[in-house]
Amino acid sequence: MRQLVLDTETTGLEAAAGHRVIEIGLVELVNRRPTGRVFHRYLNPERAIDTAATEVHGLTDARLKDEPKFREIAAEFLAFVTGAELLAHNASFDLGFLEAELARLQPPPPALASCCRVVDTLTLARQRHPGQRNTLDALCKRYSVDNTQRDLHGALLDARLLAEVYLAMTGGQSTLGLDMGSNPNGQGSGPAVELRTLRAPVRTLVVEPTAAEWAAHREACVRIAKAAGGAVVFAALDPPLSHDLAG
């Protein structure tokens, strides 16, 4: 199964108000393993970026003025995502902006929802952790995903973090290493080589109490039973004690 973890950065919060996409980040997973393939583009939005948005992602009009426009990378973007399952945190936000960008093309291509299955990882997180904070930062903390580099939001960085969170939240992952060397079968190196640690069977050591320890246990249970005026739960550890206390 091919999945693409998606994140975007934008000029503002509302696509309906004419705000645009300025960064797209996609991280590819195949059969729940990262392949090392990504799609990452900065875009010239052809409009000003809100100050509040720049405070979140750090991108400015000057930084993006020489980047391509969405229409110039649209075909490449669609070729990369078609047929995949898209994973996004608060998917309606990212998909809403991308659908608005596609609608500006002439002729407009089919909607993303018609060529990709969409999974909202925020909805997934709320189902697993009801009543808790489920922001990306909160999930990174919950699943021990290192997000110390996330001083500012970034589409590719956030997509990578979300990929790790998703894999942990939905059952884990053998490794997220991008190049772990040759595999044991000598089939060469490549991204996401699965690592397995072979461990010897664990021998369980059982230490039985001595006769003196059992005697001390019985005496303690008798004292507790008298003080509490009822049965002692710990007496069940020593079957003979149940008879001793019955009278």
Give me the active site residues, please: 153
Structure tokens at 40: 């990452």
Structure tokens at 131: 């009543």
Question: Where do we find the tokens 């996609």?
Answer: 26
C-alpha to C-alpha distance for 79 and 58, rounded to whole angstroms: 29
CA nearest 4: which of 46, 32, 44? 32
Rg over CA atoms, the chain:
28
Sign of torsion over alpha carbons 151, 154, 156, 162:
positive
Question: Where do we find the tokens 């950065």?
Answer: 9
C-alpha to C-alpha distance for 143 and 176, rounded to whole angstroms: 14
Ramachandran sector of residue 229 (left: φ over 0; alpha: ψ -120 to 50; beta: rest)? left
Q: How many CB atoms lie within 10 A of CB 112?
A: 19
